Structure 1
Amino acid sequence: MRNFSSADFTALCDRLAEKDKDLHKVILQFGYPPLWGRSASFATLIHIILEQQVSLASAKAAFLKLEAFVGAITPENVLAMTDEQMKACYFSRQKMVYARHLAAAIMQGEFNLESLAELEDDDLRTTMKKLKGIGDWTTDVFMMMVLHRCDCFPTGDIALVKSTKEVKNLPADTGKAAILAIADDWRPYRTIAAFILWHAYIKKRNIIF
C-alpha cells in the first residue's frame, strides 16, 4: 500500500515522464495534471455511483440536485427519499438501489468508510466490492481520488482507455489486455499515469466540470 500527496505528486509525474516520452509530451503540452482529490465520505461514494456510465457533467448535475433537495447527503437523508424524489434527482432505478444499499450498510454497521484507509489495496477492493453496485471502476476511482493510492488503472474507464490510445498512437480497436500491458510499464505509479492521461483527455476536449 502506497499513497501519494501534494508533497511528491509532481516528482512522481516527472519520474514517469523520464521513463515514457509520450507522458512527457503530455506534460510539456498541457502542464502537470491537477492533484484531484475528494473527501472520504458517504456523499463522495454517492457521487461516484452517479458517475457510473455517464458523463461527469451529468453526474455532477444529479449530485447538485440531490444536495439541493436533502441538504446534507447522509445515509439517513437518502433512505428517507421516495422513488419519485430520487428520480427527480436524476437517479436511475438501478442507482436508487445502489445508493440505498450503501446507506443501509453504513447505518447497520456493515460497512465502515473510516476503516478503508487502513486496508491494503487487495483487501480494500474486496471489502468495497461486497456492496451492491460497487465494482472495479467505482473502487478504483475511490482509491485514486480519495485515498490517493499509487497503483490503480481502471480499464473500465472509457476516457482513460481512449486517452491511452491517443497518447500512445494505438489503433482504435486496441483491446484492454494490450492497454494493461502498456500500463505495466508505469507500475507502481499507474495512478499517476492515469492522472496524466485524464488530464490530456480533458484538455484536448476543453472539458469543464
Structure 2
Amino acid sequence: MAATIHGRFLALYPSQAPTAADILHTPEQTLRQAGLSRSKVSYVRDLAAKVQSGLPTLEQLATQDDDAIIQILTQVKGIGRWSAQMLLIFRLQRQDVWPTDDQGIRNALQRLYQLEEPPSKAETERCGQPWQPYRSIAAWYLWRSLAMADWG
C-alpha cells in the first residue's frame, strides 16, 4: 500500500522529483487523491515548509551526531524519535542506534531472553548496553530473528 501511494505521489511530478515548493503549491485535494491522508498531507507540507526554512539536507545531517539529528528531525510534524532513528540506521548507516521504542526489538528481546512479556523501555535500554557500539547491527539481527521465527 505504501509503495502504491508513493508511486502516485511521485506521478504528480512526472518531470522531476518534487521540490519543497512543488509540494507546497500542490492543492491538498490533489495530494489526497494520490492516497495521502489528511494527517500525512499535513506532515508532508510541514516537512516541505521546514526544508524551505533551512532544514539541513541529508548530507548536512550526516555531519551531525545522532542526538543532534534526532533533535532537528523531531521538530518536523509527524517525525518522532523512532522515525529519526530509522533514518540514522538505514539511510545514514549509523552503527550505534538502539531504538528502545521499537516493538519489534522488544518482541525479539522477549523471545531471546524467554521473558514473560516484552521488556519495558528501560529494560530494553539495559539489554542493549552490552552491544555498544554496534547496537544498530544488534537491532538488525533482532528484527531478522523475528522473521526467521515466522518460518517455522
* TM-score in same-fold range (> 0.5): yes
1:81 to 26, 38, 59: 26
TM-score (structure 2 length as normaliser) = 0.83
Q: Does 1:137 align with 2:137?
A: no
The structural deviation recorded for 1:173 is 4.5
Pick 1 or 2: higher relative contact order, CA cutoff 8 A, min separation 6.
Answer: 1
The structural deviation recorded for 1:139 is 0.8
2:41 to 96, 101, 104: 96
Matched AA of 1:112: P
Alignment CA distance shift 1:64-1:190 (3 Å): same
Q: Deviations over 1:75-111 (max 9, x none)?
A: 2332232222222333222221111111111123x20
Matched AA of 1:166: R
Alignment CA distance shift 1:66-1:122 (3 Å): same
TM-score (structure 1 length as normaliser) = 0.63
Structure 1 window deviating more from structure 2 (128-137 vs 145-154): it is 128-137
Matched AA of 2:3: K
Q: Deviations over 1:153-186 (max 9, x none)?
A: 1122222222222233222253222122111111
> How far apart are the structure 2 equivalents of 1:171 and 1:62?
38
Contact 2:96–2:135 (CA<8 Å) still a contact in 1? yes
Alignment CA distance shift 1:198-1:173 (3 Å): closer
Task: Report 1:11-22 matches (<5 A).
Answer: none
Partner of 2:64: 119
Gaps of 5+ in 2: none
Partner of 1:52: none
Alignment CA distance shift 1:160-1:73 (3 Å): farther
